[in-house]
Amino acid sequence: QVQLVESGGGLVQAGGSLRLSCTASGSIFSIDVMGWYRQAPGKQRELVARITSGGSTNYAESVKGRFTISRDNAKNTVYLQMNSLKPEDTAVYYCNADMARYRLSVYNNYWGQGTQVTVSS
């Protein structure tokens, strides 16, 4: 099977840092865009950051300057370095990726299971 697995979430005080990791596994032919989304209780899921296979990035305005997305194509892994965390960053963070499987000629979109990030004041 093809899947995305996140890690690195946890509880941190305001002003602290966390690094999230997401690794894709399975019979993967290629991975295009990878990104991080988050969803707080009662709110819609929102894009936090995305990165193309070539390394181009985009960020939500609320995290720009504080978060950094990166990827290691050899490891099929995307990272989200989160600095200067605020209580409003509290949410479940989900990894997302467009991936093509070896026996298929099309890209499909995949989601990870999510990892909880809680920022206390």
Tens digit of each residue's pLDDT (9 = 90 or more) over 81-118 = 999 999 999 999 999 999 998 888 789 999 999 999 99
- Tokens of residue 6, six digits: 């996140």
The burial class, CB within 10 Å (0-12 / 13-18 / 19+), for 70 is middle
Rounded to an integer, what distance in angstroms lies between the CA atom of residue 60 and that of residue 39?
Answer: 13
Tens digit of each residue's pLDDT (9 = 90 or more) over 40-78 = 999 999 999 999 999 999 999 999 999 999 999 999 999
Beta bridge partners of 72: 77
Cβ atoms of 107 and 32 closer than 8 Å: yes
